[in-house]
Copies of this chain bind each other. A is one copy, B any other.
Amino acid sequence: MHIELINTGSELMLGRVLNTHQQWICRQLADLGYEVNRQTCVADDARQIQAAVRDSLSRADLVITTGGLGPTSDDITRDLIAQLLYRELTLDPETLGRMEQFYSQRHRTMPASAKVQAMIPAGARILPNANGTAPGLAIEVNPNPFRADGLASWLILLPGPPRELRPMFAESVVPLLSQELPPAEKYVCLILRTTGLGESLVEEKIAGPLKIFVEAGLDLGYCARIGEVEVRLAARGGGAENMVRQAETIVRELLGNLIYAVGDETLESSLVRMLTEQAKTLALAESCTGGMVAHRLTNVPGASAVLKCGLVTYSNEAKQNFLGVNAAALEEHGAVSEVVARQMAEGARQRCRADYAISVTGIAGPSGGSEAKPVGTVFIGLAYEKATVVKRQFNPFDRETFKYATSQQAMDMLRCALLA
């Protein structure tokens, strides 16, 4: 099955916004066992949108477009596609009623310009929009005049706002696909998320032992991000589940605790889960990460039950006042030192009355480095009942990457302690 995705939007082609739809939709389809063969992006321009849709319809069994269904003057996709396929647009009273209800529930009057969103091309299926006004549309292009092989294609039009597109995809597109375009074969995909080793070292550990599986059809992939490596195990066909399960067993044996989560779970959510399960609390004392560890942990619903307090003690004064770091240690060893990291972690644990405390002190740059402690040097401390441990790390990256990589290492230190 050949699938193409078309994203429309001048703001995308001007580079003002990131194309998050591409990743999100490709990811959803991959998880369902579909492969997207080509993704195209064009501006809100009639000629270019029509050309892109025509090109995709000449090749694909399924074309999905995003954007251009709203009420403003640059929302032109619905009209252009009706034109391209010679389908008449008629006002759908049910869609109009749903839109009027949407406005009245929000105590707003529906502007006259909104009505255009209830115009439906002949023969299109309506995909209701639970979070906005413009419905999605699904059109079976049969016959498909653009295809040399004479086969039919499906064309699915989705609205641009992610808050509208994502629920619509789950509620309407997935059922439609499983009914009209079921994947040719069973597909199983498992993502194991690891932290603590680089991509080539992860590959070195598992590629050899998995070779016979790869030869038998296992899709083994790696995706390196800052501070983590994802291992993808996927297979198609009748034996897919069995093959992926066997490969998983081998990878788990070889990588052990380097694997911190499966699928979409993040390091921060796995930490909140582990702390909650063990009924333990956490305090943070961050200097160079500047609140990023706290920010990441508090992105997880339920973090309030385990995170007692985070202290972003950027200045020496704050390290002394809020954490009890002593002036002598700061003077003798400097704020970026093993001794200060230890005092920060112990001070945070004690003053916040938490079971665990993480401390971070380092040089994010671009300035502030020295020969003995170059930019990228960081000390990470962990204080808990049994002991206080401090690790020295070196993350010579730009400021934001430094913060992320360091937050990853700090959280992983806690994770390993919680596993022990």
Binding site for B on A (CB under 8 A): 10-20, 22-30, 35-43, 48, 52, 55, 221, 223, 225, 230, 232, 284, 286, 289-295, 297-299, 301, 303-304, 307-315, 317-318, 321-322, 351-353, 364-367, 399-400, 403
Contacts and interface: CB of A to CB of B under 8 A. Distances in A.
B298 A16 contact: no
14 contacts: A10-B221, A11-B223, A13-B26, A17-B23, A35-B43, A37-B42, A284-B312, A286-B291, A299-B403, A308-B318, A309-B312, A309-B322, A311-B312, A312-B312
Nearest to A319: B309
A365 to B, nearest CB: 8
Contacts of A314: 298, 303-304, 307-310
Contacts of A364: 298
A309 B313 contact: yes
A223 B17 contact: yes
Given A37-B42, A291-B310, A301-B367, A318 B29 contact: no
Contact of A301 (B13, B28, B221, B366): B366
Closest 8 CB pairs of A and B: A290-B298, A15-B27, A291-B294, A310-B312, A15-B26, A291-B291, A309-B318, A39-B41
Contacts of A22: 12, 15, 18-19, 41
A26 B315 CA distance: 40
Given A16-B230, A30-B15, A318 B352 contact: yes
A13 B35 contact: yes
Residues of A contacting B: mostly: mixed
Given A298-B290, A308-B318, A24 B15 contact: yes
A361 to B, nearest CB: 12
B400 A299 contact: yes
Nearest to A16: B223
A200 B19 CA distance: 23
A23 B19 contact: yes
A294 B284 contact: no
A143 B232 CA distance: 43
A12 B36 CA distance: 10
B18 A30 contact: no
A308 B315 contact: yes
A290 B297 contact: yes
Given A294-B312, A295-B291, A312-B309, A30 B42 contact: no
B26 A52 contact: no
Nearest to A397: B163
A22 B22 CA distance: 11
Nearest to A365: B301
Given A311-B309, A318-B308, A403-B298, A15 B28 contact: yes
B315 A304 contact: yes
A351 B309 contact: no
Contacts of A225: 17
A352 B317 CA distance: 8
A419 B258 CA distance: 50
B30 A351 contact: no
